[in-house]
């Protein structure tokens, strides 16, 4: 009976250790995900607004064309 109790305690200790390791890895993954979310948000804010830049360039080109047509 003592042998069985010892085996059960050893088994429970292994399971408990494995669960603790899983919790630790899960916490690390959560921290990495939060860090990646923060960095991605910063990159999204810093990118050039390409449609706005294209519209501004087109407006400048139209203005220069109209200036050239009316200057002659």
Each residue's pLDDT tens digit, 9-61: 898 999 999 999 999 999 999 999 999 999 999 998 877 788 888 999 999 99
- How would you label 21-34 residue by residue, b for 16+ Cβ within 10 Å and e otherwise? eeeeeeeeeeeeee
Distance CA 17, CA 28 (A): 17
Number of domains, the chain? 1
Amino acid 72: pLDDT? 67
For 40, the token pair is: 């991605």
**CA–CA separation, 60 and 14 (whole Å):** 71
Cα 63 to the center of its chain, rounded Å: 41
Q: What is the dihedral of CA 61, 64, 66, 71, to 10 degrees?
A: -160
The pTM for the full model equals 0.54
Domain range for 23 is: 2-71
């Amino acid at each position: 009976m003592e042998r069985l109790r010892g085996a059960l305690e050893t088994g429970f200790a292994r399971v408990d250790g494995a669960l603790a390791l899983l919790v630790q890895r899960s916490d690390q993954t959560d921290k990495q995900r939060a860090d990646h979310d923060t960095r991605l948000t910063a990159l999204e804010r810093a990118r050039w607004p390409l449609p706005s830049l294209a519209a501004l360039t087109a407006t400048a080109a139209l203005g220069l064309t109209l200036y050239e047509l009316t200057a002659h």
